[in-house]
Amino acid sequence: MFIDYRRNPIFFARAHYGELWGAMWRSIFVAGFFWTLCWAGAAVAGAEPKRARLRDADPQMRLNEAGMLGQQAWEGNISAGAGDEVVSDLSAVLSKDADKPVRRAAAHALARFPTPQASSALAAALEDPDPQVRLAALTSLIAHGERAIFTLQTVLSTASWQTRLLAVDALGEIDDPAVVPLLTAILERDGAGRVRVSAAQALGKRLDPRALVTLSRAAQRDPLGIVRQSAASAVDRIRSVPAPADAPGASPQKSKEKSPGSSQGPGKIK
């Protein structure tokens, strides 16, 4: 049956307001869609100016931004995708920025990003001319833990003895059994006495009986007395701790016995 809405006010009202209701919801949907697009665009556009602060002409601005990025990473406010870009920017600051406090802040911030890229940048910073930057890089590598072992292993074979010394110090603070073979290799082969001393001391702190054979050999044969003395002290320290009978390198000797080489005097050190 045909209904003439113009002559029936009830049907006219229903049809008219139904169209208005549908139009209103369509308007809300369209407005929400465009608002979402604008919000996402603003977020993406705002990320780049924020990272651009790391390249600001004002050192204080760069310093503040590096510290803020590290804090945001600590709080978990940086996504995995954005984290790669932040690490890249902080690594560039650490390697190229002319301001020492900014490089130091970048090194501290990279402690919050335990990735191979960040570890490599921190390892390179171990040769920074500023000692405070080197210390910050060392602390951050230690914070990376086992993830930094491979990077530090590379440093041990290529860097100057001063940098190798820092790498050994870092390995000595990383609680992972994989560092013991690296430290024993350094104790046997490194050409710098200070590096060998640091390796012996690190092995002594770890109390790992696997290092006893290498330490005992160094206590007898190392050409430097200070290395022999450090190795002997490490042997005594490890043997003073009861070890399982099946532990590699375990020895039934009592801790009161003197280790070979312990009576030899110190010599010159590089």
Q: Where exactly are the structural domains of the chain?
A: 52-148, 177-270
The model's pLDDT over 68-83, given as tens digits with 9 standing for 90+, comes to 998 888 888 776 667 8
Buried (b) or exposed (e) across 130-156, using 16+ Cβ within 10 A? eeebbebbbebbbbbeebbbebbbebb
What does pLDDT average to over the chain?
79
Query: Same CATH topology for 52-148 and 177-270?
Result: yes
- Rounded to the nearest angstrom, the gap between the alpha carbon of residue 216 and the centroid of all alpha carbons in its chain is 33
Q: For residue 161, is pLDDT > 60?
A: yes
- Rounded to the nearest angstrom, the gap between the alpha carbon of residue 234 and the centroid of all alpha carbons in its chain is 28
CA atoms of 76 and 55, how far apart (whole Å) = 24
What integer pLDDT is reported at residue 59 of this predicted model?
87
* Residue 11, C-beta contacts closer than 8 angstroms, at least 6 positions apart: 3, 5
Task: Decide if 133 contacts 103 (C-beta within 8 A).
Answer: yes
| Range from 142-151, 153-162, 236-245 that averages highest in pLDDT | 142-151
| Residue 137 identity | A
| Range from 6-20, 59-73, 239-253 that averages highest in pLDDT | 59-73
Q: What angle do CA 130, 166, 144 make, to 5 degrees?
A: 100
The model's pLDDT over 86-114, given as tens digits with 9 standing for 90+, comes to 999 999 999 999 999 999 999 999 999 99
What integer pLDDT is reported at residue 262 of this predicted model?
46
* Residue 163, C-beta contacts closer than 8 angstroms, at least 6 positions apart: 126, 127, 155
Helices (H), the chain: 9-52, 59-75, 80-96, 100-110, 116-125, 131-144, 149-158, 161-173, 179-189, 193-206, 212-221, 225-239
* Residue 89, C-beta contacts closer than 8 angstroms, at least 6 positions apart: 51, 54
Eight-class DSSP state of 4: -
Task: Decide if 148 contacts 179 (C-beta within 8 A).
Answer: no
- CATH architecture label of 177-270: Alpha Horseshoe (1.25)
Indicate the fold that domain 52-148 takes in CATH. Leucine-rich Repeat Variant (1.25.10)
